Chain A
């Protein structure tokens, strides 16, 4: 029987109060090339050091060919390690380095000479026996380290990122060499790496680790084609992850809802229902001309075309706000797509894979490694009930203070208002925060503020919102105005919906937000529902640019009932139904007045912006009073 099987049973290692390895179960067969893959700090190196014997497990077993090694010191384990830093003894020459282990095992001199020579030949270093490690190149040192471990004929060889310090080309060459050595010697390799390509090309099987746990163990093909968790899908290769609502099984597929678009997904856990993620590899995404018919198609716009040499990468922003990457092999045909082209993105059902819903912890871990602070933030802000539940952070009659955080892609199709933050009568204070790529149905996709309770009953406290040095980009409000005059329909405010509270924006940019409702693309202010309150909006030293509101009055800012002050700001490139940049005026309530004050702003001072400024200052409604001080 071949020796060299390794089994980790409920292996656990804690350093103080940090759990590095959190009870993993891994079974490695004899003669297998097994990779432990994961981002730094996922516990892969600790696992390796546990197998080598440099660390003592807190709990669990390490079975080497069936016998527990957990209490055996490293020099009595039939396991050898190739270190990331090689750890070649600088005071010994190459021959003595390689012979080190044999001398410890009291092998006869003649045999030492023969075995060392043979293994040095095997790694193509036959001539280098008399050199010192410092006289060798990185790649040669790496091979000496390998030879030093191989000469002992261990049953398991542990490699800790052995190619990490080498340049790309050498790494490629050594990858192949390592693989062929492994096959020739028939030794079990346990290979730790954070490089997914390395793991995919060399391994028989891979274990992807995250946060001290094993996410998935599979062959490279299965790992890439059939990721089982959101983490694996995101970590391995470029993947397009989209948050969707799974509705249920429909034939051989799962019907899912991505914003207003229905997608069928054939792969993965198709029996899933509720909020979850679908994933598609960029090479499986098909780009078609705009308005191409058929199912599983979502309109979008090309955001960027990135030239990669062998392939072109298209970054497409879908109408739902999701960003999808597509990969095209560079086969010599001229590129059809350029930045800004409207296209139809076909996400083939058989390539679309439904993943089990990730825990919030994992998703956040994917996006930003600032997990602890973000979760703490979440717990401080309340969570309202009822219809306007949002997956995002919520402030409800409470104070939320957020400094230097990113609130990204908190989209949730069920969020009524406030995709990023919903502020119901509370105080929200954001400094250096990005609120980008959020989506909501009714209004305020980025941030919604209103002095009302979540069930739309009046609240006694005034909602206040302060943003400093922050950005509010690419948020989407999806529902259009209702044809029924009694129904509310979508409100608007792609970036910020400020119903009757105070909003202050300082050094803050509100860009490329869209609102399908009847007010304001970038920022909407005013009491549309008729509680009688007035909104106050102040924008200074910032910009409200490139926002879109096809059904609303003001593309950039719409100020219905209340006062708006804009100073030292840019209002540029906004589109809407009647007021391009800023629209001010009382549309809803006949008794209120709207006040607008614009000074020292981009659109007004420069000749280039004059026409736009005039258009921007159109106040079409009667009963409004507009004060302009350029």
Chain B
């Protein structure tokens, strides 16, 4: 047996580990993590450069009295605005989306099918188109002041679609029996919803929260169009606008903060999800799969 064929057999052994797939997966992981890792690394650079390593320091985090994340009000304001918008978006979009999803699954009429397709509209519309039209409508038609209000409404507008899709999938897999059983056992319509349906919907609702959070943190185009100057700058807008100006590793530190917050929220949500789905008949990964499928 030649060495070549031995290597080939080791690699292509149908009973062994899928090594080729493993190799691809790891290659992809490295490929996708390296940029983030480098960005995080340079937030600890002991110099103004974001591309030449000049030694380790924490001056861009808290050491520098003017330009560090801790002390620069612009940077802090951007993080605060990002988190504020994300929270507002979650609080508004999720309840509306859940309600819409329930309504749409129950609606049996002529309009049901078109509306189900129209729900996908914000997903497939180019975001820039969406942003321009939202700006026009908000400023001309509804006279909503630009800034936090307009930004929240804009984000809610497209976030709802994601919530509806996640929750509707879950609703369809739950089916009508649990509610019927609750009604049969003497619960009113509202009682059946609260006692039977809502507990079963929690995983999907959590998944929606995570997705909406990620969407909001990520969003640049809509948020930028609907912002009202520096006061309502979010992190993506800040990073974008300072690229041409005097960018310091403090920006990397801001980005790192956002990465950490996102990771923490996902981890927290996963734990809550595991806890809430611990006795669910449906496979416990379904909501995570929903998120994975939707993360844009």
Contacts and interface: CB of A to CB of B under 8 A. Distances in A.
A306 interface: no
B18 to A, nearest CB: 32
B172 to A, nearest CB: 15
Contacts of A89: 178, 181-182, 195-196, 199-200
B281 interface: yes
B184 interface: yes
Nearest to B281: A90
B281 A101 contact: no
B184 A52 contact: yes
Contact of B187 (A75, A81, A83): A75
Interface string A71-89: 0011100011101010111
Contacts of B280: 90-91, 134
Contacts of A85: 175, 177
What does DSSP make chain B's interface, helix, strand, loop or mixed? Answer: helix
A100 B195 contact: yes
**Residue among B181, B188, B189, B280 with most chain A CB within 10 A:** B181
A451 B105 CA distance: 60
B65 interface: no
Interface in A151-190: 152
B200 A90 contact: yes
Interface string B226-256: 0000000000000000000000000000000
Interface string A126-162: 0000001110000000000000110010000000000
A90 B185 CA distance: 16
B181 A81 contact: yes
Contacts of A79: 184
A104 interface: yes
A164 B186 CA distance: 25
B173 interface: no
Contacts of A307: none
Contacts of B281: 90, 133-134
Contact of A80 (B178, B185, B195, B279): B185
B80 interface: no
B279 A74 contact: no
A105 interface: yes
B225 to A, nearest CB: 43
Interface in A376-411: none
A91 B186 CA distance: 18
Contact of B186 (A54, A83, A104, A133): A104
Contacts of A88: 181
Nearest to B182: A100
Given A90-B281, A100-B185, A134-B281, A83 B196 contact: no
Nearest to B181: A87
Interface string B87-130: 00000000000000000000000000000000000000000000
A81 B184 contact: yes
Given A89-B196, A90-B200, A104-B191, A74 B177 contact: no
A85 B173 CA distance: 13
Nearest to B176: A54
Q: Which 8 A/B pairs are nearest by Cβ-Cβ distance? A: A101-B185, A104-B186, A87-B177, A87-B181, A91-B199, A132-B279, A74-B183, A81-B184
Interface of B: 175, 177-178, 180-189, 191, 195-196, 199-200, 279-281
Interface of A: 52-54, 73-75, 79-81, 83, 85, 87-91, 100-101, 104-105, 132-134, 148-149, 152
